[in-house]
Structure 1
Amino acid sequence: MERDKMIKSLIFMIIFLLIILSSCEKTEEYFPEASPDYVQKAGVDDLFLSDESRIRGGKTEPEIYVQMGHVSGSFSYTNAVQFIGGGKYFLSGNGDGTIKLWNTLSGREIRTFNCEDDVTNLDISKDGRLLVSGDMSDMKNINLWDISSGKKIKFVNSHMDMSCNGYPVLFCNDDRNIISGGSESTLRLWDIESGEMIRDYKAKADSSVNPDVSAIVLTPDGKSVIAGYRYNAQGVESQDFTIRIWNLETGEEIIAFNKANGWVETLGIKPDGKYLISGDWQQDSVRIWDVETGKQMAAYHTGGTSAIDVSAGGRYALLGGCMGFRLIELSTGKNIRTINKGIEGWVRSIKFSPDGKYALVGDDLSKPMLWDLESGSLVTEYGGYANKLETAKLSKTGNIMLTADDYTDAIRIWDYRNGILIKTIARDSSSLMSCATISADGSLMATGGWNGRTSNAIVWDIASSKKIARMELEEESGNHTGFLQITDDNKYLIWATQVKLTISDLRSGKEVAQIADSTHGFRSIFAEPNGNYLLISSYTGGFKMFSVPDGRFIKNISDGKDINYIFGNEYLYEFKSIKNAFGDWQRYLTQYDLKNLEEKSRSKINEFYFNFGIGQSRETLFFCHNFAKDISKYDINKNQVVTAFTGHTRPITNLDLTPDGKFLCSGSIDGTARFWNPETGKEVAQFIAFKGGEWIVITPKGYFNASPNGAKYLNVRVGNQVYSIDNFHEKYFNPAYVASVLQGKRIEATDDIR
Structure 2
Amino acid sequence: MCKNHIKPFFLKPILFVLILTFSSCGLMEKDNGKTEDISPTEIFIQGVGLNVQRVAFNSDGSRLITSGNKGTTIWDMQAKKELINLYNNDAHSSAVSKSGRYLITFNPADHGLIKICDLTTFKIHSLRIFDKEESGYGRYISGITISDDEKYFALYSNKIMVFDLESLSQINHIELKSRHYLFDYRKQGLSFLPGTNDLLSISYDISFSEPDVVTEEGDLNLNQIDHYSVNIWDIKSKEPKIEIDLNCNFILSYALSPDNKKLALLLINKELRIIDIINRTVNNHRIEVERDIDAISYTNDGSILFANRKGIIGRYYSDSKKHIIINTDIRSRFRAYSCSDLAIANDGENIVFCSGYSTLLLYNVADNETTLLTDEAKNLFGAYYDSGTLVNILTSDKIFHQNGPSFNASEVKIKQLLSYVCADQLMIENIFSGEKQIFDLNLARTLFSGVIEENEEYYAITRDGKYGFKSLQQGENDNILAVYDMENTYSNPVLLEKSGGYGINIKVFNSNRKAIIAGFATDLLTIWDLQTGEIIDTLDIQSGNARAFDFIDDSKCLVGVRGIVRLYDMNSRNIIKSYIPKGYDGRYKDITKISFSPDKKYFATGDTDGLVTIWSFDNENELVSFKTHKDWITFLTFSPDGKNIISGSYSGKSLVISEVTTGKDIARFVAFADGEWIVITPKGYFNASPNGAKYLNVRVGNQVYSIDNFHEKYFNPAYVASVLQGKRI
Does 2:330 match 1:342?
yes
Residue among 675, 686, 690 paired with 1:693: 675
**Structure 1 counterpart of 2:544, from 562, 567, 575:** 562
Shift of residue 623, structure 1, vs aligned partner: 3.0
| Cα pair distance change 1:347/1:331, threshold 3 Å | farther
In the alignment, structure 1 residue 413 sits paired with structure 2 residue 399? yes
Give, in whole Å, the separation in 2 of the partners of 1:157 and 1:532. Answer: 61
Structure 2 equivalent of residue 327 of structure 1: 315
Percentage of matched positions with identical amino acids? 22
- Residue 466 of structure 2, aligned match among 466, 491, 501: 491
Partner of 2:13: none
Q: Deviations over 1:77-108 (max 9, x none)?
A: 56223476xx6x53241446344444444444
Q: In the alignment, is residue 591 of structure 1 matched against residue 597 of structure 2? A: no
| Paired position in structure 2 for 1:300 | 287
**Secondary structure, aligned partner of 1:562:** coil
Q: Is this contact kept in 1: 2:462–2:512, CA < 8 A?
A: yes
Q: Which residue of 2 aligns with 1:67?
A: 45
The question of 1:611 aligning with 2:611 is answered: no
Corresponding position of 2:659: 677
Counterparts of 2:688 and 2:449 in 1: how far apart (Å)?
22
Report the Cα offset of residue 319 of structure 1. Answer: 0.9
Distance 1:622 1:247, change over 3 A: farther
- Contact 1:541–1:560 (CA<8 Å) still a contact in 2? no
Alignment partner, residue 559 of structure 2: 574
Residue 268 in structure 1 maps to residue 249 in structure 2: no
TM-score calculated relative to the size of structure 2: 0.70
- 1:576-620 Cα distance to aligned partner (Å, 9 max, x none): 57xxxxxxxxx9653235799775434676335342242546774
CA distance in 1, matches of 2:654, 2:46: 10
How has the CA–CA distance of structure 1 residues 319 and 467 changed in structure 2, closer, same or farther, with 3 Å as cutoff?
Answer: farther
Q: Is the 8 A contact 1:64 1:714 kept in 2?
A: no
Number of the residue aligned with 2:353: 362
Partner of 2:228: 243
Q: Hey, what does 1:171 align to over in structure 2?
A: 146
**In structure 2, C-alpha distance between the alignment counterparts of 1:432 and 1:603, rounded to whole Å:** 28
The match for 2:453 is 469
> Does 2:512 correspond to 1:536?
no
> How far 1:161 moved relative to its partner?
9.0
Q: Distance in 2 between matches of 1:215 and 1:499?
A: 48
Q: CA offset at residue 644 of structure 1?
A: 2.7
Q: Distance in 1 between matches of 2:121 and 2:415?
A: 44
Shift of residue 296 of structure 1? Answer: 3.8
Which residue of the other structure, out of 360, 374, 386, is the alignment partner of 1:383? 374
User: Counterpart in 2 of 1:28?
Assistant: none
Residue 227 of structure 1 contacts residue 243 of structure 1 at CA under 8 Å; is this kept in 2? yes
Q: In the alignment, which residue of structure 2 is the partner of 1:703?
A: 685
- What is the deviation of 1:710? 0.9
1:97 aligns with 70
5+ residue gaps, structure 2, are 1-37, 440-445, 473-477
Number of aligned positions between the proteins? 629
How far off its partner does 1:688 sit?
0.4
Structure 2 counterpart of 1:629: 610
Specify whether residues 374 and 172 from structure 1 end up closer, same or farther in structure 2 by C-alpha distance, changes over 3 A only.
closer
Residue 97 (structure 2) aligns with: 125
Shift of 1:216: 1.2
The 8 Å contact of residues 545 and 590 in structure 2, kept in 1 or not, is answered as no
The offset of 1:360, in angstroms, is 3.7
Match of 1:662 among 626, 637, 643: 643
Moved more, 535-544 or 485-494: 535-544
Displacement after TM superposition at 1:413 (Å): 1.9
| Amino acid in the other structure paired with 1:544 | T
Deviations 1:44-87 (A, max 9, x none): xxxxxxxxxxxxxxxx9996633232537xx6456223476xx6
Residue 3 (structure 2) aligns with: none
**CA-based RMSD:** 5.1
The CA distance in 2 between the partners of 1:491 and 1:225, in whole Å, is 69
CA contact (8 A) 2:561 2:590 kept: no
- Is the contact made by 1:145 and 1:151 (CA closer than 8 Å) also made in structure 2? yes
Give secondary structure in 2 for the equivalent of 1:386. coil
- Quote the offset at 1:112 in angstroms: 2.0
Amino acid in the other structure paired with 2:45: Q
Letter paired with 2:464: D
Superposed CA deviations along residues 494-519 of structure 1, whole A, max 9, x for unmatched, are 46899865545557766834557688
Counterpart amino acid of residue 668 in structure 2 = Q
SS class of match (1:712)? helix
- Matching residue within 91, 100, 109 for 2:82: 109
Taking a change above 3 Å as real, the CA distance of residues 78 and 514 of structure 1, as seen in their structure-2 partners, is farther
Unaligned stretches of 5+ residues in structure 1: 1-59, 405-409, 448-457, 474-480, 578-586, 749-754
CA distance in 2, matches of 1:540, 1:433: 16
CA-CA distance at 1:690 after TM superposition? 1.0
Taking a change above 3 Å as real, the CA distance of residues 499 and 254 of structure 1, as seen in their structure-2 partners, is farther
SS of structure 2 residue aligned to 1:468: coil
DSSP 3-state at the match of 2:326:
strand
CA distance in 1, matches of 2:667, 2:137: 36
**What is the one-letter code of the residue matched to 1:561?**
S
Q: Could you say what secondary structure the match of 2:305 adopts?
A: strand
1:265 is paired with a residue of what secondary structure? strand
Which whole-Å CA distance do the structure 1 matches of 2:110 and 2:497 have between them? 34
Measure how far apart 1:689 and its partner are: 0.8
3-state SS in 2 of match to 1:640: coil
Q: Deviations over 1:405-447 (max 9, x none)?
A: xxxxx34423358562533445689x998647565xx9x5499
- Between 1:285-294 and 1:653-662, the stretch displaced more is 285-294
Structure 1 residues 279, 712: CA separation in 2 closer, same or farther (over 3 Å shift)? same
Question: Contact 1:394–1:438 (CA<8 Å) still a contact in 2?
Answer: no
Contact 2:143 2:191 in 1 (8 A): no
Question: 1:14: which partner in 2?
Answer: none
Alignment check: 8 A CA contact 1:217 1:268 kept:
no
1:379 to 1:285, Cα distance in 2 relative to 1, 3 A: same
**Superposition deviation, residue 225 in structure 1:** 0.4
Describe the superposition over 1:266-325 as per-residue Cα deviations: whole angstroms up to 9, x where unpaired.
Answer: 111234545322225x52334424558674433332442212222357x12221113221
Q: Identify the match of residue 153 of structure 1 among 104, 125, 150.
A: 125
TM-score (norm 1): 0.68
* CA-CA distance at 1:672 after TM superposition: 0.7
Task: Find the aligned partners of 1:196 and 1:143 in 2 and give their Cα distance.
Answer: 18
